[in-house]
Structure 1
Amino acid sequence: MLNALVVVAAEESSNNPLLPAWYDIIWSGVCFLIIAIVVVRVALPRLNKVLDERAAAIEGNIAKADEAQRQAEAALEEYTKQLAEARKEAGDIREAAREDGKRIVADAKAAAAAEAERLTASAHAQIEAERQAALVSLRGEVGTLAVDLAGNVIGESLSDDQRAAAVVERFLADLEASEKAAK
């Protein structure tokens, strides 16, 4: 047995410990070749398919994002345009409201002036009517007083209505003539 150990030790000493045996290299190469064929034929196509699908999904999402961005920009432009139109319309409405306000104020002033003129004319007419009534009343009273005074001055009674009326008319005519001359 000692011989067997020496033989095995001698055989082992001739082999390089860093180099494997030739059968290990062959079997390792066959296993590597089988695994490489399986990877190239089965795993790589599936991996490429998954990567292609992922790339297509990413490109689709990028395209969708670009489309969404274009739509957002279009919506923003539309919104900006509508906002500008709304501001212009609001300005037009404000201007129209100012014009309507000015017109309403002018109409109210004109109506107030017309009403004031009507009231003034009515007041003048009423004053003139009251003046005429006062004149008629005053003529009657002045006539009666003038007849009584004339009767006292003359010393006789002026009870004759025609005669008294003629004296009163003459007195009032003289009074009006003296007023016009004084003016």
Structure 2
Amino acid sequence: MNLALGPLKPEPGELIVGLSCFLLMVWVLGSRVLPRIERLQADRRDAIEGGAERAEALHAEAERTYRAYRASLADARHEAARIRQDAAEQGAAALAAAREEGVRERDRLVAEAHARIAVDRALAAVVLRRAVGELAVELAGRVVGEPLAAAAAERDTVKRFFEER
């Protein structure tokens, strides 16, 4: 075989060995290396694009969770406001009941005090009338110059005087 390759004149044995090595390399690359490269590229593409899709899904889930949280927080605020309102109403009712009880107790105490004062006033009037009568009889006895206590007691002069008044 005479090939006109110019200054390159390969030997046919070397050409066959070189060609067979080249074909072996192409076969190894095609069967082993290229599938691995394609698999790595697919994994990377899945990691990048799938990561974005997963991130979007997680974002959507987080948004739903946030909305649910906001709704439950609003419900809790409404419930707290209702509880505060109920407590204020119960407090006002308890205050009104305590005020009524206090007014009743005050009225009862005032009535008892008025009754005690009336009794004390009557007793004081009796005691004072007796004392005024005794002092008047004693004074009259001094003016007259003789004791008039027995005569006044016998005639009930002081008693008649106060009964006329």
What's the TM-score, normalizing by structure 2?
0.66
Aligned pairs for 1:1-150 (under 5 A) are: 20-21=8-9, 31-58=21-48, 60-144=50-134, 149=140
Q: Tell me how far 1:128 sits from its aligned partner.
A: 0.8
Shift of 1:69: 2.2
Indicate the structure (1 or 2) with the bigger Cα radius of gyration. 1
Letter in 2 for 1:164: R
1:147/1:164 contact within 8 Å kept: no
Cα shift at 1:84: 0.8
Q: Give 5+ residue unaligned stretches, structure 2.
A: none
CA distance in 2, matches of 1:38, 1:87: 70
Q: Which runs of 5+ in 1 are unaligned?
A: 1-13, 176-183
Query: 150, 155, 162: which one pairs with 1:164?
Result: 155
Aligned length: 157
Cα deviation, residue 146, structure 1: 5.9
Q: Percent identity?
A: 33
Quote how far apart the aligned CAs of 1:130 are.
1.0
Q: Secondary structure at the match of 2:150?
A: coil
Q: Which amino acid aligns with 1:159?
A: A
Indicate if the aligned counterparts of 2:137 and 2:149 stay in contact, CA closer than 8 A: yes
The 1-side partners of 2:48 and 2:58 are apart by 15
Distance 2:51 2:40 in 1: 16
The structure-2 alpha-carbon separation of the partners of 1:158 and 1:44, relative to structure 1 and needing over 3 Å to count, comes to: closer
Q: CA RMSD for the aligned pairs?
A: 3.8
Cα deviation code 1:54-100 (max 9, x no counterpart): 33444554454344323322221221112112221222233233324
TM-score by structure 1 length?
0.61
